[in-house]
Chains A and B, each alone.
Chain A
Amino acid sequence: QKEVEQNSGPLSVPEGAIASLNCTYSDRGSQSFFWYRQYSGKSPELIMFIYSNGDKEDGRFTAQLNKASQYVSLLIRDSQPSDSATYLCAVNNDYKLSFGAGTTVTVRA
Chain B
Amino acid sequence: DGGITQSPKYLFRKEGQNVTLSCEQNLNHDAMYWYRQDPGQGLRLIYYSQIVNDFQKGDIAEGYSVSREKKESFPLTVTSAQKNPTAFYLCASSNPTSGRETQYFGPGTRLLVL
Binding site for B on A (CB under 8 A): 4, 31-32, 34, 36, 42-46, 49, 51, 88, 90, 92, 94-97, 99-102
Contact of A43 with B107 in the complex, beta carbons under 8 Å: yes
Residues of A within 8 A of B45 (CB): 96-97
Q: B interface, by DSSP: helix, strand, loop or mixed?
A: loop
Binds A, one of B12-20, B66-74, B94-102: B94-102
Q: Identify which of B41, B99, B104 contacts A95 (C-beta below 8 A).
A: B99
17 contacts between A and B (CB under 8 A): A4-B42, A31-B99, A34-B102, A34-B103, A43-B90, A43-B108, A46-B103, A88-B42, A94-B99, A95-B96, A95-B101, A96-B33, A96-B48, A97-B43, A99-B42, A101-B41, A102-B41
B31 interfacial contact with A, CB 8 Å: yes
Which residue in chain B gives the minimum CB-CB distance to A46? B102
